[in-house]
Structure 1
Amino acid sequence: MAQDLLLEEDSSQTSASTTSLPERIRVKNRRKRYLDQTPDYFGPSLELADPLMYDRLIRRFQTPAEREAEGRKKGHSGVLEADLMRSEAKVEALAHPDPNATFSYRRGPGGEILAEDKDEVPRTKEEGFARWKYEMEMRFMRGDDDDFDYPGVDDNEMWDDLEEEARGKLESYLETESPRWVLGDGQQPEGETGVQDY
């Protein structure tokens, strides 16, 4: 899983003293940091992003008490909206199956709706949540959440990881340095910088 985004170096903007991140990397780093700092993003309202996936990976493991508690958080209209969107998504998936989808709904021999192959079913609640969270993270990182204000994160320095950027600048600087002899008190070379003498 793409848990940590690596900083990339843009050689056209690199000098010995400073490193500037390409804008696309800076944006992805800010989005990742936002998700790390805002776990509420993955709340029940995110079900509407992909009702079928939520149904497959989250709802199937919920107890009646958990569904009731989630329903209270959403409110009556939120529950109705989620049920309506899930039903419409199932009808659409049956009418127009997507061959490129990771799973698809289809009619079984008795007319029942079959959602997935047996090997695609998560075995535990934790596995289902991890798969759902990963898919939602990737969706967010691509910028596919139409209801989210991306410029509020993408253009905000508050979401920069200053330690990580400083580490990247230091690594870039050290890569441009070449070993040189260190002169001792008697002006005799004693070793090279960057090389440990054992």
Structure 2
Amino acid sequence: MRIEPEKFLFANLQSWFVPYKSLHSAPEMWGEIDSCIEPASPAPCEPHSAGTEDEDEMDQHASEPSNPTAHIQDKCSSTLDAMISAIVVSGSPVKSQQLGEPDLTVEEKKQLLMEQYNTKPVVFLERYHTHLKPEHMEAFSHVSSDCRTQYYCTEVQKQASSSANKTRVRNHRFAALRALQKEGQYFSEEQMRFREPLLYEQYIGQYLSEEEILQRSEEAMQKGPTGLSDLLINSYQEKELQKRLQEEQDREYCADQEEEDDEEEPTHADWEPTTEEKALLREEFLSQMHQRFLEGKDKDFNYSEVDENPDYDNLDILSRDAEEKYFDGEEDEEEEEEDDDVM
């Protein structure tokens, strides 16, 4: 019996294509038949087909054009509200306005900020990140894969750490200030005069009478050692102090000459303060010395023993209320001075 070649070829082709069709009933992405696939066994394709259903579902969600912030707003509405409110309170401009255009209300600002956030969250983060806190970063979780989001979230964390460190250092120094005030020596008039001779001269020294200067010297001798060597040391220190004072006065005079104006400032010969005014000047001098200490301007003081000392953490709680009153008082005085200048 003779077998025709055409029929034999057709029969063999059918045996290959029929299983392949049953295997790949779904549309093929590549359009290429893998020669390694066993045509009679569909088993290797089953895990792939099962997996593609989940992957297709994920791809479908990823490619949906719906606004991804809708879910975030429902989940993190409190975070969003807190973030928007923080930006509004900061006073940061949220919109370019023309001269004479009325200021935006709080609600208008919040609405504009929310629109900016919904439209371009990454640009929103870039623009307002300096006013945000780490707890606000949850609102940008849906764009966390963006390298810009990662960068500015890191910046917000650094900013918060820096702010916390500044607060801790300030609390430590204020606790140390209270301890030094109680000890009495560091903020004594003589010690402060030695640290800042020009400042002392401006607020106190130039208004002292001869009797007060003599009394100051006697008090310094009574408080300190009375040996001959100590007297010589005190005399040497006084000469050095006067030398420093003269040098600082010369520098200040040269600076004043460069910025000289038509009006002459009142001098010691022009104005003699009353007893009450002298007391106010003394208080102002003491306040300035306290402020210099808190700002780290006392050159001979080892601030590392305070700033990095955990022992002062226990004093922070006790000192916090006093610290707030102290700085609030300073702010009130500054506001009063500004009002007086305006009047």
- Asked if these proteins are the same fold (TM beyond 0.5), I'd say yes
Q: Give the match for residue 236 of structure 2.
A: 77
1:137 correspondence with 2:282: no
1:115-161 Cα shifts (integer Å, max 9, x gaps):
69859998444322211111111111111111110000011122224
1:6-43 Cα shifts (integer Å, max 9, x gaps):
xxxx9648xxxxxx981111111111111111122212
* Identity among equivalent pairs (%): 23
Q: Give the match for residue 198 of structure 2.
A: 52
Taking the aligned partners of 2:269 and 2:252, their CA distance within structure 1 comes to: 12
- The 3 A distance-change label for structure 1 pair 98 and 155 is farther
Q: Give the match for residue 171 of structure 2.
A: 29
1:154-174 Cα shifts (integer Å, max 9, x gaps):
111222245728x99xxxxxx
Matches within 5 A, 1:180-191: none
The one-letter code sitting in structure 1 at the alignment partner of 2:298 is D
Taking the aligned partners of 2:311 and 2:270, their CA distance within structure 1 comes to: 44
1:65 correspondence with 2:214: yes
The one-letter code sitting in structure 2 at the alignment partner of 1:69 is E
Structure 1 consecutive aligned stretches of length 4 or more whose deviation exceeds 3 Å: 10-13, 113-125
- The 3 A distance-change label for structure 1 pair 34 and 164 is same
Q: Which has the higher helix share?
A: 2
The one-letter code sitting in structure 2 at the alignment partner of 1:67 is R
Taking the aligned partners of 1:146 and 1:93, their CA distance within structure 2 comes to: 20
The one-letter code sitting in structure 2 at the alignment partner of 1:30 is H
Instruction: Give the TM-score normalised by the residue count of structure 2.
Output: 0.35
Q: Give the match for residue 187 of structure 2.
A: 42
Higher mean C-alpha displacement, 53-62 vs 86-95 = 53-62
SS of equivalent residue, structure 2 residue 256: coil
- The 3 A distance-change label for structure 1 pair 36 and 76 is same
The one-letter code sitting in structure 2 at the alignment partner of 1:24 is K
Relative contact order, CA 8 A, sep 6+: which one is greater?
A: 1
- The 3 A distance-change label for structure 1 pair 115 and 91 is farther
Structure 1: segments with no counterpart, 5+ residues: 1-9, 14-19, 169-198
Q: Give the match for residue 93 of structure 1.
A: 252
Taking the aligned partners of 2:193 and 2:285, their CA distance within structure 1 comes to: 10
1:98 positional shift: 8.4
Taking the aligned partners of 1:52 and 1:133, their CA distance within structure 2 comes to: 14
Q: Which has the higher strand share?
A: 1
SS of equivalent residue, structure 2 residue 215: helix
Higher mean C-alpha displacement, 30-39 vs 73-82 = 73-82
1:34-93 Cα shifts (integer Å, max 9, x gaps):
111112221213224332220122323461333213553481122111111111111111
The one-letter code sitting in structure 1 at the alignment partner of 2:312 is W
Conserved? CA contact 2:175–2:316, under 8 Å: no
1:157 correspondence with 2:157: no
Q: Rg: which structure is higher?
A: 2
Conserved? CA contact 1:52–1:89, under 8 Å: yes
Taking the aligned partners of 1:11 and 1:79, their CA distance within structure 2 comes to: 52
Taking the aligned partners of 2:273 and 2:219, their CA distance within structure 1 comes to: 25
Taking the aligned partners of 2:215 and 2:286, their CA distance within structure 1 comes to: 18
Taking the aligned partners of 1:95 and 1:69, their CA distance within structure 2 comes to: 34
Instruction: Give the TM-score normalised by the residue count of structure 1.
Output: 0.56
